[in-house]
Amino acid sequence: MTGENIMADQILQLKTIDSEIQKLIHTAALLSWDQETYMPPAAVDERSEQLALLEGLIHDRITGQRAGELLEGIGLSEDQPDGPDSLDPAQAAFVREFYRRYRRSIKLPKKLVTERARQSALAQRVWVEARKASRFSLFEPNLSTILRLVVETAECLGYDEHIYDPLLDEFEPRMKTSELESVFARFQERLKTLVQRIMAGRPVESSFLKRSYPVEKQRAFSNLVLTAIGYDLKRGRLDISAHPFTTTLGCSDVRLTTRYNEKYFNTGIFGTIHEAGHGLYELGIDTSLCGTLLADGTSMGIHESQSRMWENLIGRSLPFWKHFYPQLKTQFPEALSHIDLEQFYRGINVVRPTLIRVEADEVTYNLHILLRFNLEKKLVCGDLAVKDLPDAWREESVALLGVAAPGDADGVLQDIHWSMGAIGYFPTYSLGNLYSAQFFKVMEKELPEMTRPGGLLERGEFAEILSWLCQKIHRWGKTFPAGELCERISGEPLNPDYFMDYLEQKFSDIYGI
Amino acid sequence: MTGENIMADQILQLKTIDSEIQKLIHTAALLSWDQETYMPPAAVDERSEQLALLEGLIHDRITGQRAGELLEGIGLSEDQPDGPDSLDPAQAAFVREFYRRYRRSIKLPKKLVTERARQSALAQRVWVEARKASRFSLFEPNLSTILRLVVETAECLGYDEHIYDPLLDEFEPRMKTSELESVFARFQERLKTLVQRIMAGRPVESSFLKRSYPVEKQRAFSNLVLTAIGYDLKRGRLDISAHPFTTTLGCSDVRLTTRYNEKYFNTGIFGTIHEAGHGLYELGIDTSLCGTLLADGTSMGIHESQSRMWENLIGRSLPFWKHFYPQLKTQFPEALSHIDLEQFYRGINVVRPTLIRVEADEVTYNLHILLRFNLEKKLVCGDLAVKDLPDAWREESVALLGVAAPGDADGVLQDIHWSMGAIGYFPTYSLGNLYSAQFFKVMEKELPEMTRPGGLLERGEFAEILSWLCQKIHRWGKTFPAGELCERISGEPLNPDYFMDYLEQKFSDIYGI
């Protein structure tokens, strides 16, 4: 064989290994999805063992000797983590991502990987119970175990600057804690000023959102919106879980969950649209990448840019509701009687520092993230003990938001992430907010028909919007790293000004400031 | 180490291997359960690949070199398939069953195993579509593939007498086709005579069963019965699928499915009780066997004895409905108006040669099995081509039942089994019927309180019945082979007379003959 042929053959062998890994990842995803949706409660111990086994099998294959030899043969190394220049772009992306995954995994003992899977599965069930009882102490032992395993993971992965770096890198590849801190610093002051101005603006009435919204009707409406924006339910589902999430079980099997609150309209619909944003990304990946490790979002920040864009820039916009509000009003004639479109739009966009992140308005949302980012850094550095977390949460909440939850359910226990060991994930929500505004600005320019009066959104026509997102973002999967993708789309690196411009304009109108 | 210690250590090593196999089997079971219940339709191709991978991993572990060495070391061989006498009963059962599985699997090429898994997953979806369209020709190519793989499996496994033997052996270990034929021969004449006598008896009115029974209310009633008979829904679920089934995802995760027909009452409730009988068996297995290959029904015949006993000997009995009928009538006051308990009891037990096996009465049911047994033997022998199956089905149906379906949906396409490659399964339903009557006779003697007027069944008290079944059958899992279990319970081998005695007595009363 010629050198070129040898390399093509080595890549083919890697693809075979990867194909098996992907099938196992999707199988493990089903075990997790089922645990959150339909699994009988008593099965949790056995499920945690099944998940630990699967994660171990995945780890074996990622770190297998043959994979290492092939990567070396192709020319991947610490000094050349992107592989040789001779590869075509698709091959280059494949080996780059394979090597990235290999390099991370090879540093982790299998025992640590399986133990994390086992303990996460167990902790999630305890978290649900603890949240129901609003008692952090029930969850504390599990979280301590999880934190110990996460810190051990970070130590194994290694870091130059901050122990948080390798954790963040799992969700936002190539981003450093210090970069993130400077991103936050760049818009934090402007955000605070905006919050103060809004608080002095004309008040927004939103109490009608807490009237009675029967769950069955919410579910029907969620499905209606899902179908309208182009979610293909032959390739996905919408179910109910304690914490909304999206999971990929294959290129043609991307499942969403949401939750409904009869006494608060926003929970269900915006949870659904948010997750649909994630799901549309996964379903939009080019079929040529199907079954490979490139068939995945390129970073959680980019992923959240899609969920937050659909949820907020589209889903909380006036033209969107110009289309859907008449249908909504037919579903809930009592709750929405005497509420006109304008009032509804202002109501769903009310800005108010509150307790629950997933129900926060667009303006204060990033403060919820900052709170978690600050606490996570302290936890992994050992500057904060798990037992002191509820108090620290309250303090941080008062400092950033001016409010604090009396109980744990609405405070430290509100999010599922830590129970899953997903420390380092939260900041990607803020990155998603920033990216979403930056991308939306470009989309508005290239699709002037989108937001203008009588345009696509007002007509409830989402196909062109989805197609734009697909062409620019979805289809590529992990082909381009987040930073490169951002430059390709917008011609510049991540720039928080777009997000702040967007917020200031939108909320100046709403609050008459 | 002493010889005894060495052996104990070898068994421990086998148990470790087995434990991983069981987790993979349960994971594959989830993939299949999900395919039948919640999987989005477009995901079927990817799912078939995931299942093929899992079945391959399972096969690797069952047939692993280390497993073979350990079995040999312990003293298992073709000449000594039950292992050395020195083992205690629990160990002996474990190594016997491990060796049995090993010996079968080692004869099968991995490629055949994965291909069967892949093709079965694909064929099931096609079967659903073909049945919907009532067109066998849509399913024919898939069934041809499945049959080819099943025949190849039988050839690999080998046989002395009949190619059907190794297939039957998968579901009813140690039973031969010739034995089965002589069992059928032993009661076939008596059955025919009974059918003739019944046809000449006083007619039974059952048209009220085809009134309107809203599905939601049927579902609620199914859950009520399930809970009443002692099905622990913390360790299981009831869902809906095209064909009812029970599947085990762990010792604390045994799931049932059923289906409801708004226009025919029997489908939903008796389907549910049937599957509950399977599920109660699995849930009743002793916790000491949990996670091992012994935590499974000992044969499908014994398994069906449990489902058919709950469905028929209990669920279609007068005392059972003496308890439940008042509640049922509250649920369906219109459909059941002017129908008293006696009429209801006679109605649900109407004997009439009909088209659908799962809806057949207890008397003609075994004729449906004979039909399939006859056709399966011809198919695997090559005496019947797949394309000629619909006609052969019709002929056999006329010969045995005196009726034939005009379309394929109610004929050759009615059962899921062949699409799953489960050729050799059907006869176990008849074995189940026979075993159920034999066991029930013993239970009646040992629990005289059960069927007497004012007794357990009439009071809706099932705990003692379930406990008896658990002590005699469920708790043992695969510890005793079917024949041995039958002798332990009833003091004699399988004897079809009990079943015929039961039928003759029950239906003489109902038909006044």
Average pLDDT value over all residues in chain B:
96
A46 and B53 in contact by Cβ < 8 A?
A: no
B233 and A57 in contact by Cβ < 8 A?
A: no
A43 and B237 in contact by Cβ < 8 A?
A: no
B23 and A249 in contact by Cβ < 8 A?
A: no
pLDDT at B4: 80
Q: How far apart are CA B47 and CA A36, in angstroms?
A: 20
**Residue of B36, B50, B57, B248 to mutate, interface with A, max A Cβ within 10 Å:** B50
Instruction: Choose among B39, B57, B250: nearest Cβ to A46.
Output: B250
DSSP H helices in B229-299: 265-283
| Contact residues for B257 (Cβ-Cβ < 8 A; gap 6+) | B36, B37, B238, B239, B240, B241, B244, B245, B246, B275
Q: How far apart are CA A368 and CA A430, in angstroms?
A: 9
Q: Which candidate in A172, A275, A304, A396 is catalytic?
A: A275
> At residue A58, what is the residue type?
I
Strand order across the beta sheet in which B236-240 lies: B236-240, B253-258, B246-250
How close A223 comes to chain B (CA, Å)?
A: 15
**Residue of A19, A21, A32, A34 to mutate, interface with B, max B Cβ within 10 Å:** A34
Q: What angle do CA A157, A430, A173 make, to 5 degrees?
A: 30
Q: How far apart are CA B300 and CA A466, in angstroms?
A: 51
B253 and A40 in contact by Cβ < 8 A?
A: yes
Compare all CA atoms of chain B with the CA of A237 and give the residue at the minimum distance. Answer: B40
Percent of chain A with pLDDT over 70: 100
pTM above 0.90, yes or no: yes
The number of beta carbons lying within 10 Å of the beta carbon of residue A17 is 16
| Contact residues for B366 (Cβ-Cβ < 8 A; gap 6+) | B184, B187, B191, B430, B433
Report pLDDT digits (tens) over A325-353. Answer: 999 999 999 999 999 999 999 999 999 99
| Contact residues for B411 (Cβ-Cβ < 8 A; gap 6+) | B355, B390, B393, B394, B397, B404, B405
**Residue of A16, A20, A249 to mutate, interface with B, max B Cβ within 10 Å:** A249
Structure token digits, residue B13: 């090593």
How close A460 comes to chain B (CA, Å)?
A: 25
Q: What is the DSSP letter of A213?
A: -
B253 and A47 in contact by Cβ < 8 A?
A: yes
Report pLDDT digits (tens) over A282-329. Answer: 999 999 999 999 999 999 999 999 999 999 999 999 999 999 999 999
- Would you call A275 a catalytic residue per the annotation? yes
Report pLDDT digits (tens) over A108-160. Answer: 999 999 999 999 999 999 999 999 999 999 999 999 999 999 999 999 999 99
Report pLDDT digits (tens) over A484-513. Answer: 999 999 999 999 999 999 999 999 999 999
A253 and B20 in contact by Cβ < 8 A?
A: no
pLDDT at B2: 79
Give mean pLDDT, residues B58-82: 96
Strand order across the beta sheet in which A236-240 lies: A236-240, A253-258, A246-250
pLDDT at B405: 87
Tell whether the model's pLDDT for residue B1 goes beyond 80: no
What confidence category does residue A4 fall into, taking pLDDT thresholds of 50, 70 and 90? confident
Q: Give the side-chain half-sphere CA count within 13 A for B477.
A: 22
Which string of DSSP letters, residue by residue, matches B458-506? HHT--HHHHHHHHHHTGGGTTSS-HHHHHHHHHSSS--THHHHHHHHHH
Q: What is the DSSP letter of B238?
A: E
**Residue of B53, B61, B122, B289 to mutate, interface with A, max A Cβ within 10 Å:** B53
How close B49 comes to chain A (CA, Å)?
A: 8
Instruction: Choose among A43, A251, A255: nearest Cβ to B253.
Output: A43
Contact (CB, 8 A) for B51 and B28: yes
Of A222, A255, A242, A304, nearest in space to A482 by CA? A304
Instruction: Choose among B40, B232, B255: nearest Cβ to A253.
Output: B40
Instruction: Choose among A24, A40, A49: nearest Cβ to B234.
Output: A40
Give mean pLDDT, residues A411-429: 96
Tell whether the model's pLDDT for residue A1 goes beyond 80: no
Contacts of residue A251 in chain B, CB cutoff 8 Å? 46
Please return the burial class of A239, using the count of CB atoms within 10 Å of its CB with bins 0-12, 13-18 and 19+.
Answer: middle
Tell whether the model's pLDDT for residue A483 goes beyond 80: yes
Contacts of residue B34 in chain A, CB cutoff 8 Å? 30, 34
How close B54 comes to chain A (CA, Å)?
A: 8
pLDDT at B183: 95
Report pLDDT digits (tens) over A170-192. Answer: 999 999 999 999 999 999 999 99
Report pLDDT digits (tens) over A68-122. Answer: 999 999 999 999 999 898 899 899 999 999 999 999 999 999 999 999 999 999 9
Give mean pLDDT, residues A46-61: 97
Instruction: Choose among B54, B235, B253: nearest Cβ to A27.
Output: B54
Helix (H, G, I), strand (E, B) or coil at B160: coil
The strand pair at B253-258 and B246-250 is best described as antiparallel
How close A237 comes to chain B (CA, Å)?
A: 7
Chain A residues with a Cβ under 8 Å from any Cβ in chain B: 20, 23-24, 26-27, 30-31, 34, 38-43, 45-47, 49-50, 53-54, 57, 232-237, 239, 249-253, 255, 291
| Host H or E run for residue B248 | strand B246-250
pLDDT at A3: 77
The strand pair at B236-240 and A253-258 is best described as unpaired
How close B55 comes to chain A (CA, Å)?
A: 12
Report pLDDT digits (tens) over B91-119. Answer: 999 999 999 999 999 999 999 999 999 99
Tell whether the model's pLDDT for residue B3 goes beyond 80: no
Buried b (16+ CB within 10 A) or exposed e, B81-104: ebbeeebeeebbbbbbbbbbbbbb
What confidence category does residue B258 fall into, taking pLDDT thresholds of 50, 70 and 90? very high
Instruction: Choose among A34, A42, A50: nearest Cβ to B234.
Output: A42
A253 and B30 in contact by Cβ < 8 A?
A: no
Give mean pLDDT, residues B447-476: 97
Instruction: Choose among A20, A237, A250: nearest Cβ to B53.
Output: A20
Compare all CA atoms of chain A with the CA of B236 and give the residue at the minimum distance. Answer: A40
Q: How far apart are CA B328 and CA B282, in angstroms?
A: 28
Contact (CB, 8 A) for B117 and B390: no
Chain B residues with a Cβ under 8 Å from any Cβ in chain A: 20, 23-24, 26-27, 30-31, 34, 38-43, 45-47, 49-50, 53-54, 57, 232-237, 239, 249-253, 255, 291
The strand pair at B236-240 and B246-250 is best described as unpaired
Helix (H, G, I), strand (E, B) or coil at B385: coil
Contacts of residue A287 in chain B, CB cutoff 8 Å? none
Average pLDDT value over all residues in chain A:
96
The number of beta carbons lying within 10 Å of the beta carbon of residue B462 is 22
A50 and B253 in contact by Cβ < 8 A?
A: no
Contacts of residue A40 in chain B, CB cutoff 8 Å? 233-237, 252-253, 255
**Residue of A16, A45, A47 to mutate, interface with B, max B Cβ within 10 Å:** A47
Percent composition of chain A: helix, strand, coil (DSSP 3-state, to 5): 65, 5, 30
Q: How far apart are CA B379 and CA B426, in angstroms?
A: 14
Tell whether the model's pLDDT for residue B280 goes beyond 90: yes
Q: Which candidate in B275, B362, B396, B458 is catalytic?
A: B275
Of A238, A249, A302, A241, nearest in space to A276 by CA? A238
Please return the burial class of A431, using the count of CB atoms within 10 Å of its CB with bins 0-12, 13-18 and 19+.
Answer: buried
